[in-house]
Amino acid sequence: EIDGGVLELLAGEQTTGGATFLNGSFLWSNITIKAKVDNVVGDSTSIIARDNDEGESARCSFGAGAVTFRIYEDYKEVRKVTTSRRSELSGKTLGMTVDNESVKCLIDNTVVLNTKHNDEIPSKGRVGFTNWTSEMGVSKLRLHNVEVTAIPAS
């Protein structure tokens, strides 16, 4: 739901989260994605990059106690790297940079997780956001100032 330029992700009555993808982003490769979040209700908020129709993607997941980088193949998590980070997410700008095999997860433009994965993440794909909690119908998230910037080829 979009209201006043703010994108709101809400869980349905019988779901545990919400997700959205940016239209036309299926060919995006080396980018930085940022969005300010508020009204966060959920266990995990993720930025998704290079999502494709084969169920492959790379994600930076932000939770109250940790930031986790995840790789999905065939819609299943196959690898993750986690760092401890205690932080309230509401009012923060969350970000993700994907540059070839290098991935950075950011909070307020500060790198909180930096990792590299040779040939393990798709080379291009959609960009999106998701919010999740274990309880049905509760998860919600508001996104402001969504920004995607291409990283020039080096």
Q: Give the mean model confidence (pLDDT) for residues 32-57.
A: 93
Confidence at residue 90, expressed as pLDDT on a 0 to 100 scale: 87
Percentage of residues in the chain having pLDDT higher than 70: 96
Q: Give the mean model confidence (pLDDT) for residues 139-151.
A: 93
Strand-by-strand arrangement of the 17-21 sheet: 17-21, 126-132, 44-51, 57-62, 66-73, 76-84
pTM: predicted TM-score of the whole model, two decimal places: 0.92
Split at pLDDT 50, 70, 90, the class of 32 is very high
Poorest-pLDDT segment among 71-80, 81-90, 120-129, 139-148: 81-90
Confidence at residue 88, expressed as pLDDT on a 0 to 100 scale: 81
Decide: residue 53, CB within 10 A, 0-12 exposed, 13-18 middle, 19+ buried: exposed
Q: Residue 122: which of 138, 100, 143 has the closest Cα?
A: 100
C-alpha triplet 41, 5, 20: angle, nearest 5°: 55
Confidence at residue 1, expressed as pLDDT on a 0 to 100 scale: 53
What token pair was written down for 110? 């500060």
Q: Give the mean model confidence (pLDDT) for residues 48-59.
A: 95
What are the φ and ψ backbone dihedral angles of 14, each rounded to 5 degrees? Answer: -110, 25
Q: Give the mean model confidence (pLDDT) for residues 4-15.
A: 89
Poorest-pLDDT segment among 61-65, 94-98, 140-144: 61-65
Mean of all residue pLDDT scores within the chain: 91
| In contact, 108 and 91? CB cutoff 8 Å | no
100-130: pLDDT as tens digits: 999 999 999 999 999 998 778 899 999 999 9
Residue type, 71: I
